[in-house]
Structure formats: C-alpha cells, structure tokens
Structure 1
Amino acid sequence: MSTKLILDEAAVRRALTRIAHEIIERNKGVKNTVLVGIKTRGVFLARRLHERIWQIEGQKVPIGELDITLYRDDLTEKNDEPQLRETNVPAIEGKKVVLVDDVLYTGRTIRAAMDALIDLGRPEMIQLAVLVDRGHRELPIRPDFVGKNVPTSKREIVQVSLMEADRQADEVSIKQNK
C-alpha cells in the first residue's frame, strides 16, 4: 500500500489558523458561537481551533464533544454493538454552531451530527469546518471552512494523524487501497 503525505505538521497548523481566522471573519467575531467537535479527531481539532480563536480574539468560545454513534445510518450493517462515548455539548439554542471534523467524504457523518445537534436544541445556524474535503458526496452537504481540498478516488484512504489521538506527528496522508 503506497502512502503520499499531503499535509505535514506545519501545514496542519497553518490550515487550522486559517480556519480560525475564517470563522471569526464570517461570523463577525465569535459572540454567540459554539465549537462542537465530532468524536474523535474532530474534538481535538475543535480544541485547537478554540485555542487559536482565543489567541486571535482574546475570547474563549464554548466547546463541545458530540458522539454520533446512535445517529449513524449504517448501524444495522454492523454486527458489533455500538460503543457509545460521552456527548458533552454546551447550550446551542440560538447559537452559531461550528461543527468540526477531520475528513469530509460522503456527508453521512455530518448528516448524523446535525440530527444529533437538533435533538439538543435549535441553533441559529450550523456551519461546518473540516481539515480535509476529499469529495465523493452522497448527500448535499458542503463545508463552510476547509483546511485542504484533496481530490481522491474511492479506492484511496485519507489518514489523519493527530498527536492527541495517535501519539505521532500531526499529518494527513493518502493511502492507496488495493
């Protein structure tokens, strides 16, 4: 299986800094804004965005963690019992919620996340921030903030490694699945 590095540690850092600036600009600041990371890597990316926004604006943005396990549309296809992880989301009623995930592919994870959010309250709006958009959408979902657009084939796998989750350098690579 061949591997091609598409974002190294510095490129991941720059992408997140750019996304933080774009979130601030699009929302005219961060008042009434909440960051919600989708388990697992989306949570770590949301935390990093939270830190960058604080460094830029001097304001702390509420941050949450969302487990979408029970909202997935492929639960019946899996034989295993779903492993539930904690959801901890601050009040989102009337807020601008920025959903954060590592890779956007078919859009099904984001659809599940939006369903989960709506069950928690009615936000003013939901925006989507992703580190990598790889295309191949099956649902009409598009990101508002993107670290990098990476055209891929369906046979390729986009691998995001983060220090917090994988105990190795931050990087994004594409692996050819044969």
Structure 2
Amino acid sequence: MVSGTLSVESLLDKMLSELKTLLIHRQIDAPLIIGIRTGGIWIAERLHTELALESPIGTLDISFYRDDFSQIGLHPKVQASHIPFATEGRDIVLVDDVIMSGRTIRAALNELFDYGRPSSVTLVTLLDLQRRQLPIQADVYGSTLSLGPNQQVKLTGPNPLELEISQKD
C-alpha cells in the first residue's frame, strides 16, 4: 500500500519530455490542449505553458456525458465546457489527472466529438491507476500507481499541484 504524497513536478517533467517526443514522432506541431475539469485543467495549463503554445486551452466538464449520470445525479459544481477553437481536423491533446476505469475519458471523447471530428486525440494523464473497465489507455502518463482497496488519490491545486494519497472514510 502507498501513503503520503508524490512529486507532481517530477511526474510533469517526465510527461512533458514524453509528450514532446510523441508529438515530434507523430509530426504534430500545433496541438490544441483540452483539460478535463478540474485536475486535468491544472495539468493542461502547465503543459500548455511548457510547450509554449499560442492557441488557448479548452476545458471539458463531462458531467452530462457520464454513463452513471442517472445513478449519481447532477453534481452541484457542474460548469460549462469551453472549447474556444474549432476541433474539426485538428490534433488534440486531451489531459486528465487520473485514469482509472476509462469511463471519464469515454465521456470526454463523446463530448469532444460533439464539437467536431479531430484528426487525432492524444491522451495524457498524470496517474494511471490500472483499474480499467473500458479499453482506453493513456499515450503519455506520469506514473502508474496501485492503491489498496481503502485508499484514494486526490490532486489538489493549482498552486502548488500536489497528489495526496489517503484512506477512504
């Protein structure tokens, strides 16, 4: 079992290096970055700054696209998604803080395609918890993490960005 905190800065450095290499390999020189609310936006902002991209950052709030929406209801902090650019035929870097089951990413892709059909989507995530329920994998991730059955991970931020691993109540 894991406890304590992880260095977000070292994970971001690793992700940035791998993302730059992947974008060069795929011949993508002007990707559009979209972060999934909330932690994904914080990470997307950091990657966007480090890549020195000129385009604005997009944000997705996938609440209405969740497949468990009818079970959990509407979260009181739902905010509008904001995609300030055309996605049709563009290369997208989709960023989230943690990938676990793959359901959040599936919802994000559904919403993203409502804006248009991108040329490509590169998935970047800080942590991979390796508990997949859907066949979705990150192209770039900071680290994998195995949690005990009563543990949870939470990204807090945005300044500073910190990962906290704790026991569930």
TM-score by length of 1: 0.82
Q: How many residues align?
A: 168
Letter in 2 for 1:174: I
Residue 129 (structure 2) aligns with: 134
1:160 aligned residue: 155
Q: Distance in 2 between matches of 1:111 and 1:144?
A: 15
**Contact 2:28–2:91 (CA under 8 A) maintained in structure 1:** no
17 and 80 in structure 1: CA distance in 2 versus 1, 3 angstrom threshold: closer
Match of 2:44 in 1: 46
Q: 1:143 to 1:9 in 2, by over 3 A?
A: closer
Corresponding residue to 1:85 among 61, 67, 79: 79
- Cα offset for 1:152? 2.3
Are the counterparts in 1 of residues 39 and 96 from structure 2 also a CA contact under 8 Å?
yes
Unmatched runs of 5 consecutive residues or more in structure 1: none
Q: For the Cα contact (< 8 Å) 1:136–1:154, is it kept in 2?
A: no
Asked whether the equivalents of residues 94 and 123 of structure 1 are also in contact (C-alpha less than 8 Å), the reply is: yes
Q: What is the TM-score of this pair, normalised by structure 2?
A: 0.86
In 2 relative to 1, CA 23–45 (structure 1 residues): closer, same or farther, beyond 3 Å? farther
Letter in 2 for 1:125: S
How much is the aligned-residue C-alpha RMSD, in angstroms?
2.3
Q: Is the 8 A contact 2:63 2:75 kept in 1?
A: no
Q: Deviations over 1:8-30 (max 9, x none)?
A: 25324423433442443343342
Identical columns (%): 32
Point out where structure 2 has 5 or more consecutive residues left out of the alignment.
none
Tell whether 2:153 aligns with 1:177.
no
The letter of the residue matching 2:109 is: M
Equivalent residue letter for 1:47: E
Distance 2:137 2:111 in 1: 18
Q: Given that residues 5 and 171 in structure 1 are in contact (C-alpha distance below 8 angstroms), is that contact kept between their aligned partners in structure 2?
A: no
